Copies of this chain bind each other. A is one copy, B any other.
Amino acid sequence: MSTTVAEPESAPRQRRKQARPQELLEAALELFCEKGFAAARTDEVARRAGVSKGTLYLYYPSKEELFKAVVRHNLSSLIAEGQELVGQFDGSSSELLAKLLRTWWQRIGNTPAAGIHKIVLAEVRNFPELAQFYSDEVILPADRLFCGVVERGIARGEFRAMPAHEVATALMAPLIFMAVHRHSFGACPVHGSVDVEPERLLGTHLDLVLRGLERRG
């Protein structure tokens, strides 16, 4: 009946309000990646989100809290997905590792979220509270995830016995390298720069390191 027609007019303001935090987080991520934390201006975050300076402070009490919200929104939930992937997988550890690295690249490295790591690396010394937060929230869980897979491979006799933590770091390093590069030199108009093609590097890296891990027949 005609009662269903009543709906649309009441929505915009409310829908707008609901969407604000999301819009602000997206604008903030974008600008933080471009400029870094210190050099990013709160005015411009607001402007890119289509709101005024004051509105930003309605949702986040300070620039630092805004940044932490960006981290949580973009990274915290992704770790859990990785854990799930590992839990459900029942192929070989080499395949699992390949799958995990490729997924990481698609879901994080190749995403605006990867820029966060660049920012944190650069500015964490000026925000001690952030160091602890990011370590607890991102670095430790990610490290645990990759160590677990390496240990699985060793336990199942697929990999040589090697120090899991160092192997995990060596596994991640090229991905992090690319992710960071993408948001620094990769975003600059440089002539004749070293061009890293992610998919090829990922393939080569896996080829190299999985072969390095495996026990000799």
Contact = CB atoms under 8 A, between A and B. Distances in A.
Interface in A115-167: 118-126, 128, 131-132, 134-136, 139-140, 143, 162-163, 165-167
A102 to B, nearest CB: 15
A68 to B, nearest CB: 15
If over half of A's interface residues share one DSSP class (helix, strand or loop), that class is named, otherwise mixed; here it is helix
Contacts of A196: 166, 169
Identical subunits present? 4
A175 to B, nearest CB: 8
Interface of A: 34-36, 38-39, 118-126, 128, 131-132, 134-136, 139-140, 143, 162-163, 165-167, 169-170, 172-174, 176-177, 180-181, 183-185, 187-194, 196-197, 200-201, 203-205, 207-213
B166 A205 contact: yes
B123 A201 contact: no
A135 B166 contact: no
Nearest to A189: B128
A54 to B, nearest CB: 13
